Amino acid sequence: MSDVQQLRDDLHYVRGAMSRRERADYAPPGIMYLWVIYILVGYTLMDFRIEYAGPFFAIGGVVGGIISAILGRIHSQKIGESDRTTAIKAMLHFFGGISFGAIGTISLATYLPTLRGTEGSQVFVVMIGLVYFLWGVHYQRYFMLLGPIVMAGGVLVGQIHHFGWTILGAVISLGLILPTLFTSSPKVSAESTPTPDPGAQA
């Protein structure tokens, strides 16, 4: 019996490793669509109603994070795989990284008056690009390309005198949405059983 149990454990480990590798370059499309809408609306506000952009990004970011957690958990249950550790890392990486980026930019602006306008927003976008790149290093590899594009956009957007932020938002959105069109969704394993996950998923 011990040999049979060992074989089952080995198969379970291999299946889990293959599943994690398959998910490494895959994100539920619903989560990506959510953030695409968030980016398109927020960056368009930067051009047309900049006074509403800050509150939208702050409130929408929190709401979007909550919805992403719900969508991620539903997706995990659907495919019969639950990876709470990766979910927590994703939350800390994006929410923590972007939040600290915002705090850092605001702190710099208190000492550097030139960062109190859209220039500060440019610095913040460059930080977001770095957060994207580092996520690509460890998980979804296409973020390794998207990150530098976002960083370059943060630098160059100030040189575009008309609808620069709207254009940048469209570029970032395309970078997020295109991989979902070319990456197949992980298949639900007949041998897998959904694992309840009390934690947040992202």
Q: Percentage of the chain surpassing pLDDT 90?
A: 53
Give the per-residue pLDDT at 194. Answer: 42
Structure-derived torsion over alpha carbons of residues 145, 171, 31, 193, reported in degrees to the nearest 10: -40
Supply φ then ψ for residue 162, to 5 degrees. -130, 120
Look at 13-22, 106-115, 116-125, 156-165 and tell me which has the smallest mean pLDDT.
Answer: 13-22
Give the per-residue pLDDT at 156. Answer: 95
CB-neighbour burial class of residue 57 (10 A; exposed 0-12, middle 13-18, buried 19+) = buried
pTM for the structure as a whole: 0.76
CB 92, CB 200: distance < 8 Å? no
CA-based R_g, the chain, Å: 20
Dist CA 68 CA 149 (whole Å): 24
Distance from CA of residue 45 to its chain's centroid?
A: 21
Mean pLDDT, range 119-146, rounded to an integer: 93
